Amino acid sequence: MTLKDTQDIPERYDALILAGDRKASRKVKGKNKSLLVINNRAVICYVVEAVAGSRYINDVYVVGPKDRIEAALAAGRVKASSKRVIVLEQWDNLFENIWNGFLSTIPGHKPSTDPESYRGTPYWNKVMLALSGDIPLLTPYEVDEMFRKADIEHYDYFPGTTSNTSLTYYYPQRRKKGKKKKRGIKHAYFHFAEGLFRQNNMHIGRPFALSNIIYVEKMYEYRHQREWNDIVKLAFEILRTEKGSWKSLYYFFILQSCLLLSNLRFPSLVERLRRLVSLNKQVEPTVGLVLGTRLKSVETTYGGAALDIDSDYEFETIKANFAEWTDYQRRLFLERNGDEPAAP
């Protein structure tokens, strides 16, 4: 092996895929979203293969209903690129799945082990990828892109984002006269001075470095902000923190006002308002203060990580367009890199 070969091998990290179906988890068609079927394979099979296909990933952990997840992975004949895939029985809620799932990635960890005992050890700085199990369009290219852009040396938490320009291909499209309208998905966005973004479903971070890690759960739980009761709940959760709460609330309501005005078709007002809030200069430092960590968002540009399944319509649309949208992401990779991705 040459020196160049060794330099091309990145550091690898464990991944935690969240596929639970308790508490705040939303079911689609009355089922666990990760176990819905596309082309005779459960959604979780595609997510595991995408994560395992990344050259930055070591072991893949899946938290959910253990027996059903294992049966789905076996039936789907998952190819994990020689990576270990470990399925963990789910806990009572999302926060417990994240926290206990992370601790399970530490060799020799037992439920009776005090997490404080890891302080001062290499595990205290352990970095992990966490993502949801309902994003069947995720690709290894997008996982790689997330890690390439994450400045792990200088920051501790990286929420993934995707811009509107990266998602326009997936919008509903009108066909030529006499043909049906093509199904698509168009989400709402947060309007920042830098552009329009939505949170995708990937997160990289050092869990021990998040002083208020429980707010990650709250942000995820209340992410469906089309519903005003969710907006009010999130506002109260923000105000309960000691640092950065009022700034966060100020930015939050500007962003929500932009969303409302956008829906009401007042683009000129949206343009004025969104320039008051910078994602990089204002929101990231303030949210980092609330969470008690060094935060920097990472934009990925393939789209798959942002296309989760949260409704019957979204599932049926992804299912109908699955082959085309998967091929589109592959063509994007080839256009940017000129060759197929190397095996991890």
pLDDT digits (tens, 9 = 90+) for 77-90: 999 888 999 999 99
Does the structure show a pLDDT above 80 at 28?
Answer: yes
Residue 6 has what pLDDT? 41
pLDDT: is 279 or 252 the higher one? 279
Nearest to 190 by CA among 249, 257, 92, 140: 257
pLDDT: is 118 or 23 the higher one? 118
Nearest to 303 by CA among 324, 326, 323, 321: 326
Residue with tokens 């790689």: 144
pLDDT: is 127 or 180 the higher one? 127
Q: Determine the distance from the C-alpha atom of residue 21 to the mean position of all C-alpha atoms in its chain, rounded to a whole number.
A: 17
Does the structure show a pLDDT above 60 at 133?
Answer: yes
Q: Using alpha carbons only, what angle is made at residue 24 by residues 111 and 210, rounded to the nearest 5 degrees? A: 55
Instruction: Give the separation between CA 196 and CA 160, rounded to whole angstroms.
Output: 14
pTM above threshold 0.75: yes
Put residue 40 in one of left, alpha, beta given phi > 0 → left and psi -120 to 50 → alpha: left
Instruction: Give the separation between CA 298 and CA 235, rounded to whole angstroms.
Output: 24
**Would you say 222 and 234 are in contact if contact means Cβ atoms under 8 Å apart?**
yes
Instruction: Give the separation between CA 248 and CA 289, rounded to whole angstroms.
Output: 9
Bridge partner list, 89: 64
Share of the chain above pLDDT 90, in %: 68
Q: Which of 4-18, 122-136, 152-166 is least confident?
A: 4-18
- Tell how many helices (H) and how many strands (E) occur in the chain: 12, 10
When pLDDT is averaged across residues 247-265 and rounded to a whole number, the result is 84
| pLDDT (tens digit per residue) in 226-243 | 555 665 566 666 566 556
| Residue/partner pairs of 180-187 with CB below 8 Å, 24 or more apart | 183/316, 183/317, 183/320, 183/321, 184/317, 184/321, 185/307, 185/314, 185/317, 185/318, 187/306
When pLDDT is averaged across residues 55-66 and rounded to a whole number, the result is 97
Bridge partner list, 299: 161
β 195-205/157-163 pair status: antiparallel
Other beta carbons less than 10 A from residue 299's beta carbon: 17
Tokens of 309: 């399944």
Report the run of H or E that residue 192 belongs to, with start and end.
strand 190-192
When pLDDT is averaged across residues 197-209 and rounded to a whole number, the result is 95
Instruction: Give the separation between CA 288 and CA 278, rounded to whole angstroms.
Output: 14
Residue 90: half-sphere exposure toward Cβ, Cα within 13 Å: 22
What are phi and psi for residue 139, nearest 5 degrees? -125, 160
Tokens of 129: 């990828």
Instruction: Give the separation between CA 137 and CA 139, rounded to whole angstroms.
Output: 6
Q: Determine the 3-state secondary structure of 299 from DSSP.
A: strand
Domains of the chain (ranges; CATH) run 11-160+199-210+297-337 (3.90.550.10)
Residue 65 has what pLDDT? 97
